[in-house]
Amino acid sequence: MGNVTVFCFLASYLVAFALEWTRLVRPMSINRIVMLGFAAAGLLAHSLYLVYRSQQTSMPPLLNSTHDWTLVLAWLAVFVYLIISLVDSDLPLGLFLLPLVLILIGIAYLVSDEPNALRPATGEAVRTAIHGWAMLHATLLMFGLAGICLGLVLSLMYLVQHYRLKHKQSLKGGLTLPSLASLARWNRQAVIWAVILFSAGLLAGVVLTYFARNDSRPLSWSDPVVLVNLSLLAGLFLFLTWVSRLRQPAGRQVAIITACACGLVLLAVFGLQVLTGRGVLDTQHVRLSPQPRVEPACCRRLGKGSRTVDSDPASLVYSPPVLLPLTIATGGIELPS
């Protein structure tokens, strides 16, 4: 597992994406088989990479680093792609979903991949509570972002299907897209669940603040990560309210607005993480040591020389890249030199 790098599964997904396009040009059954083979091989390498990094710090990927957290989201998208592609061979889902996977992997390279070591809480009971709520916090936010990604993909599929039907065009090779009614319904449900999960993640963050109410370094509500992500959540609520009040919404108009809204949310969330991870913005969410990066994450071979955090695994908690900070409950990220 130590020889697996980000480039291994990135290359596999790139080949799978290219083979998806060949199905539109010259559809053959062998194309689909090879495409799924490369995607499955990439998913295996992806899994081994996350498992190895998790073993290095004795922490699950969701609580390890922003780099790992982003790769877990990409892993989930590939897993969904494989399952749906196996069930429906005529749905070109990879044309819409795999580009998003490639973008997430690229973002994972830009954000910090250093293990997050947070100052342990006082008392074993409080430490255990923080760890459990941290896992719930990270999981809810990851699935919330997954709902946003799904909303973006379904909106793009709706626009393509709408254009194809309007101009009476058909996909080659027997490939098909779901009906406009189905896409609109799934899109609405994806956004609703995304907002629910984001709200639950926010509530988990509030609970975390309770366990750290006596911390010496409380988080300021003027922190840029807090302000941006609370604004995003408020924007999603306003968007849902606007859509629900439309008596006869124009499907294409709603799809365009949904695609733009989901795209802006993803851009704001991950763009903010890139800026904070690189030290451009001052935030209490990321308190990394000033040690420079030695090698890029996508090129470094895990194994000898990999940096790990030498501290009690039970005291390590990760601050995920959205909504309320886990740093409230822990007091900041500090990597030992």
Residue 110 has pLDDT above 70, yes or no: yes
337 located within any domain: no
Which one is predicted more confidently, 149 or 141?
Answer: 149
Lowest mean pLDDT among 41-45, 76-80, 302-306, 331-335: 331-335
CA dist 112 → 64, 246, 279, 282 (Å): 11, 42, 10, 15
249 located within any domain: yes
Q: For residue 85, what are the domain limits?
A: 6-330
> What angle do helix axes 124-166 and 180-211 make, rounded to 10 degrees?
160
Residue 39 has pLDDT above 90, yes or no: yes
336 located within any domain: no
Residue range 87-95: mean pLDDT, rounded:
87
Q: What is the 3-state secondary structure (H, E, C) of the chain?
A: CCCCCHHHHHHHHHHHHHHHHHHHHCCCHHHHHHHHHHHHHHHHHHHHHHHHHHHHHCCCHHHCCHHHHHHHHHHHHHHHHHHHHHHCCCCCCHHHHHHHHHHHHHHHHHCCCCCCCECCCCCHHHHHHHHHHHHHHHHHHHHHHHHHHHHHHHHHHHHHHHHHHHCCCCCHHHCCCCCHHHHHHHHHHHHHHHHHHHHHHHHHHHHHHHHCCCCCCCCCCCCHHHHHHHHHHHHHHHHHHHHHCCCCCCHHHHHHHHHHHHHHHHHHHHHHHHHHHCCCCCCCCCCCCCCCCCCCCCCCCCCCCCCCCCCCHHHCCCCCCCCCCCHHHHCCECCCC
1 located within any domain: no
283: pLDDT confidence band, cut at 50, 70 and 90?
Answer: low
CA gap 89, 337 in Å, rounded: 51
CA gap 101, 190 in Å, rounded: 18
pLDDT, one tens digit per residue, over 8-36 is 999 999 999 999 888 887 777 888 899 99
335 located within any domain: no
Q: How many domains does the chain divide into?
A: 1
Residue 317 has pLDDT above 60, yes or no: no
